[in-house]
Chain A
Amino acid sequence: MIEIKNVSFRYGKHKPLFDDFSLNIEDGRIVGLLGKNGAGKSTLLRLIAGLLSPQKGELLVNAYKPGQRLPDYLASIYMIPEEFSLPPVSVDGYVKALSPLYPDFDQEKMSSILEEFELNRRDKFHKLSHGQRKKFLIAFAFASQCRLLILDEPTNGLDIPSKSLFRKVMVRSVGEQQLVLISTHQVKDIDTIIDSVVTLDKGQLVLQDNIENIGRKYLFETASDLTGDARIIYSEKSPSGYRIIRANEGNDETKIDLELFFNAIINKTIY
């Protein structure tokens, strides 16, 4: 569980990125962290991981203060940063070296995910493409079975089949007690797997809601024109007409268009 209370953070003498920021996230969820460039997503993930410390306020993750970087805490989280670097060893060498540091590491799960991602344990990292190395890190993260997984732009660099595989593997691998935080700009890559959305804008929490509630409140449809429907909250032109968001006044349900929803939030049409 992540509890952030009145946190303030700034880089050096810059303007505060977070000022009196609060957020609570329960365990057992896959949370999509959305926001424009510079909204503070990566900084928030770094604060949660313990790579940065807030200047004010309280930040607790599973009752640990991440900034203290206590070993038990570090063994309970795994972070895939947007930009990463792997040592000049083989897949197997890395797994053998680092898996003993994670008490719940599941070797069988690692092997099965590597197989699905078509990665060979004998492959050397320097011979793998960026996407393959990212797939390895995703496999390691899921096999670590850490209570908190922090994934910063996990689908960047993955090809289309791999993105689909990533979603399948994630849904199958994440346990009920785990919390997965996924920060991404490519909302379409994760819209079917997340069960909660947190949206940031300029260091402010704009929205925190679960997917069920969003589906209950809004309908996501396409329309050939926009005339005569007062319930349309937001619309965007598309090749086949318009993608629209309407208030859900009945019990209808539609597939959530997360990208459209995000654009509506950023344009302050919703919330």
Chain B
Amino acid sequence: MKQNSFFSINRFGRFLSAYMQLNYKRYLYIIAGAFIAFYAWFLFFMNNTLHHFDVQYSFYMSCLSMGALALGAFVGSAFPEWSDKIKTGNYLLLPASTFEKALSQFLIYIVGGILFFCVIFYVDAHLARWTLMHTERYISGEHTIDALNGVMLSKIYQSDEPWSLILWIIFSIACLLFSIRLFFSRFGLVKTVIAVGAILFLFFFCLTFSSFLFYADENTVFRLLDLKTPVHNVHKGWDNVAILFFVFFGATTFLSLCLAYFKLKEKQV
């Protein structure tokens, strides 16, 4: 029976399984490396800088931001075959559709990356706290470390914007990193990060500039992302600025994924 040329679940399963069997070591090393690096990071900074923060969730917030950069670097290294012409050729000739190839990378680098990041971050935060709580400094009760938990996570995020918008923006930036990666072969990660950084800077610059231009009375000094635009609540905490961000990053996600698909489809080596 002739299988669907765009997507077949059986073929996709076989392809993903083959890809993972050939590359599992790479991902095991990355997971192990991330686990150790985050643990060391937490251990060092919990012991040395935690008490400089007024509230402990600010410490976790700064760790989360740094961790998000590491996650971004992982997503930006999708399509690892792209760094080498021979490997790119081998990859393109594997019997799977373009959509299946893009989807497999999406699942590994974006879905898998975010899931593993959350697990590693949470486990390492607890493990590092547990390790330090058994040292003399903490046994004596001189200092204490609050455990990372749901309540703290809700405190970490103190903006008025809805949570779903922040998650949407993170997902959108991940998609942007994922697709821009396909435009570069050598030093792909570095070039991808620079390109995505430039795109985001341009967006925020244009936004600030528009606000400065159209709401001159409210914006007397040009400061990046210091928007003083009229805010109208539209629906359950979603104001006009949140909706603008949602639409922009939604369009970015859609265009990024389309771009990734067609770039992969048209790739020639």
Q: Which A residues form the contact surface with B (CB < 8 A)?
A: 46, 49-53, 69-72, 74-75, 77, 79, 81, 83-85, 87-89, 93-94, 96-98, 100-102
- Complex Cα spacing A83 to B100, Å: 26
Does B32 have its Cβ within 8 Å of any Cβ on chain A?
Answer: no
User: Chain B binding site: helix, strand, loop or mixed by DSSP?
Assistant: helix
CB distance from B31 to the nearest CB of A (A): 17
Q: A74-B95, A89-B25 are in contact. List 15 more A-B contacts (CB 8 A).
A: A46-B89, A50-B92, A51-B268, A52-B269, A69-B93, A70-B97, A71-B8, A72-B95, A74-B93, A77-B93, A85-B84, A93-B21, A97-B21, A98-B22, A100-B18
Contact of B96 among A49, A77, A93, A101 (CB under 8 A): A101
* Identity of the chain B residue whose Cβ is nearest the Cβ of A97 in the assembled complex: B21
Q: Which of A49, A69, A88, A96 has most chain B Cβ within 10 Å?
A: A69
- Complex Cα spacing A50 to B265, Å: 11
Q: Which B residues form the contact surface with A (CB < 8 A)?
A: 2-3, 5, 8, 11, 14-15, 17-19, 21-23, 25, 84, 86-87, 89-90, 92-98, 100, 265, 268-269
10 A-B Cβ contacts within 8 A? A49-B93, A51-B93, A71-B3, A71-B95, A71-B97, A72-B2, A98-B94, A100-B14, A101-B14, A102-B95
Q: Are A69 and B92 touching (Cβ within 8 A)?
A: yes
Q: Are A52 and B268 touching (Cβ within 8 A)?
A: yes
* Identity of the chain A residue whose Cβ is nearest the Cβ of B98 in the assembled complex: A69
CB distance from A127 to the nearest CB of B (A): 15
Contact of B5 among A72, A77, A79 (CB under 8 A): A72
- Complex Cα spacing A87 to B19, Å: 10
CB distance from A137 to the nearest CB of B (A): 10
Q: Are B269 and A83 touching (Cβ within 8 A)?
A: no
Q: In the assembled complex, which residues on chain A have CB atoms less than 8 Å from the CB atom of B3? A: 71-72
Q: Are A89 and B21 touching (Cβ within 8 A)?
A: yes
Q: In the assembled complex, which residues on chain A have CB atoms less than 8 Å from the CB atom of B84? A: 85
- Complex Cα spacing A69 to B262, Å: 13
